[in-house]
């Protein structure tokens, strides 16, 4: 007979402490309170994420306006001043 899993502890961590571990494509990423934590431990708070995506959106709009948008997969968006990249 299959053993039932008790999710109460996990649910408590998510609802009360806002701690969640992601899986599949986001494996290694975690939500810890108000921060999104990368697999290497870099903490991204909501103002940083908003600024990052706002900056990327304006850059993309400029590229489209100027006709310089590359129509290929694998374009890279550099996160801050590190060597890590986020695929677009």
Confidence (pTM)? 0.51
Position 88 scores a pLDDT of 42
In the chain, where do the E strands start and end?
A: 19-21, 30-32, 35-37, 43-45, 76-78, 85-87
Position 59 scores a pLDDT of 86
Cα dihedral 10→13→14→20 (10° resolution): -80
Position 40 scores a pLDDT of 92
Ranges under pLDDT 50 in the chain: 79-88
Instruction: Name the helix (H) or strand (E) containing 62.
Output: helix 46-66
Among the listed residues 1, 19, 20, 88, the one whose alpha carbon sits nearest the alpha carbon of residue 52? 88
Phi, psi (degrees; rounded to nearest 5) at 26: -100, 20
Instruction: Tell me if residue 87 falls in helix, strand or coil.
Output: strand
Position 76 scores a pLDDT of 57
Position 74 scores a pLDDT of 57
């Amino acid at each position: 007979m299959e053993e039932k899993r008790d999710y109460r502890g996990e649910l408590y961590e998510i609802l009360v402490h806002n701690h969640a571990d992601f899986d599949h494509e986001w494996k290694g990423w975690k939500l810890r309170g108000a921060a999104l934590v990368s697999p290497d431990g870099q903490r991204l708070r909501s103002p940083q994420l908003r600024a990052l995506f706002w900056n990327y959106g304006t850059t993309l709009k400029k590229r489209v306006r100027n006709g310089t948008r590359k129509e290929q997969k694998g374009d890279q968006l550099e996160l801050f001043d590190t060597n890590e990249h986020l695929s677009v």
